[in-house]
Structure 1
Amino acid sequence: MEERHKRILQRNRTNLVTDLDPSNLYDGLLQKGVFTQDMIDEIKSSGTRRDQARQLVRDLETRGSRAFPLFLECLQETGQQSLAELLQSGGPLQHDNVPIYPIHRPNTTPSPSPEKENTRPRPPGRTRRDSIQSYKMDASPCGHCLIINNVEFEPQSELSNRKGSNIDCDKLERRFKALSFIVEVKTNLKQRQIKHELSALSKKDHSQYDCCVVIMLSHGTEVSHSRFPGAVYGVDGQYVPVQLITNYLNGQHCPSLQGKPKLFFIQACGGGERDTGFEVSPDEVEPSVGGADDQTDAIPMSSSSDSLSMSDEPDARATLPTPSDILVSYSTFPGYVSWRDTQSGSWYVETMDRILEENATTDDLVTMLMMVNHEVSQNSAKGLYKQMPGSFNFLRKLLYFKTQPSQSSS
Structure 2
Amino acid sequence: MDPKHRQILQRNRRNLVTALNPADICDGLLSKGVFTQDMIDEIQSKITRRDQARQLVIDLETRGSQAFPAFLECLRETGQHALAELLQCGDGARLPPSVPIQPSLIPLPVRKCVTSIKHTGFTWIYLLGIPTRPRRDSIQCYKMDASPCGICLIINNVDFDPDCDLKDRKGSDIDCDKMEKRFKALNFEVIAKRNLKYKRIRHEMASLAKRDHSAYDCCVVIILSHGTEANHNRFPGAVHGVDGPAVPVQLITNYLNGQNCPSLQGKPKLFFIQACGGGEKDTGFEVSPDEVEPSLGGIDDQMDAIPISSSSDSLSTSDELDARATLPTPSDILVSYSTFPGYVSWRDTQAGSWYVENLDCVLEENAATDDLVTMLMMVNAAVSQISAKGLYKQMPGSFNFLRKLLYFQSSLS
What TM-score does the superposition give when structure 1 sets the normalisation length?
Answer: 0.67
Long gaps (5+) in structure 2? 1-26, 60-115, 124-133, 309-323
Instruction: Tell me, in whole angstroms, the C-alpha distance in 2 between the residues paired with 1:339 and 1:360.
Output: 25
Match of 2:189 among 164, 182, 195: 182
Instruction: Tell me, in whole angstroms, the C-alpha distance in 1 between the residues paired with 2:39 and 2:245.
Output: 58
The size of the alignment, in residue pairs, is 302
Structure with a larger share of its residues in strand:
2
Match of 1:14 among 19, 30, 34: 30
List structure 1 segments (4+ residues) > 2 angstroms apart after TM superposition: 11-27, 44-47, 49-52, 119-124, 127-131
Long gaps (5+) in structure 1? 1-10, 28-43, 53-115, 302-307
**Deviations, residues 316-370 of structure 1 (Å, cap 9, x unaligned):** xxx85xx200000000000000000000000000000001000000000000000
Match of 2:161 among 131, 154, 160: 154
- 1:1-400 superposed matches below 5 A: 14=30, 48-49=55-56, 121-122=120-121, 128-129=135-136, 131-299=138-306, 323-400=330-407
Q: Is the 8 A contact 1:297 1:340 kept in 2?
A: yes
Q: Is the 8 A contact 1:324 1:396 kept in 2?
A: yes
Instruction: Tell me, in whole angstroms, the C-alpha distance in 2 between the residues paired with 1:385 and 1:46.
Output: 50
Q: Is the 8 A contact 2:214 2:264 kept in 1?
A: yes
Q: Is the 8 A contact 2:281 2:393 kept in 1?
A: yes
Residues 154 and 128 of structure 1: CA distance in aligned 2, closer, same or farther (over 3 Å): same
Aligned partner letter, 1:278 = F
Instruction: Tell me, in whole angstroms, the C-alpha distance in 2 between the residues paired with 1:24 and 1:162.
Output: 51
Residues 334 and 372 of structure 1: CA distance in aligned 2, closer, same or farther (over 3 Å): same
TM-aligned CA deviation for residue 129 of structure 1:
4.1
Instruction: Tell me, in whole angstroms, the C-alpha distance in 2 between the residues paired with 1:191 and 1:173.
Output: 22
1:112 equivalent in structure 2: none
User: Percent identity at matched positions?
Assistant: 69
Residues 46 and 188 of structure 1: CA distance in aligned 2, closer, same or farther (over 3 Å): farther
TM-aligned CA deviation for residue 292 of structure 1:
2.2
Instruction: Tell me, in whole angstroms, the C-alpha distance in 1 between the residues paired with 2:377 and 2:252.
Output: 23
Q: Is the 8 A contact 2:58 2:143 kept in 1?
A: no
**Deviations, residues 352-409 of structure 1 (Å, cap 9, x unaligned):** 0001000000000000000000000000001100000000000011000001377xxx
Residues 375 and 46 of structure 1: CA distance in aligned 2, closer, same or farther (over 3 Å): farther
Instruction: Tell me, in whole angstroms, the C-alpha distance in 2 between the residues paired with 1:353 and 1:204.
Output: 27
What TM-score does the superposition give when structure 2 sets the normalisation length?
Answer: 0.66
Aligned partner letter, 1:166 = D
Instruction: Tell me, in whole angstroms, the C-alpha distance in 1 between the residues paired with 2:53 and 2:264.
Output: 15
**Deviations, residues 207-253 of structure 1 (Å, cap 9, x unaligned):** 01000000000000111211221100000100000111110001111
TM-aligned CA deviation for residue 264 of structure 1:
0.1
**RMSD value over aligned CA atoms?**
3.4
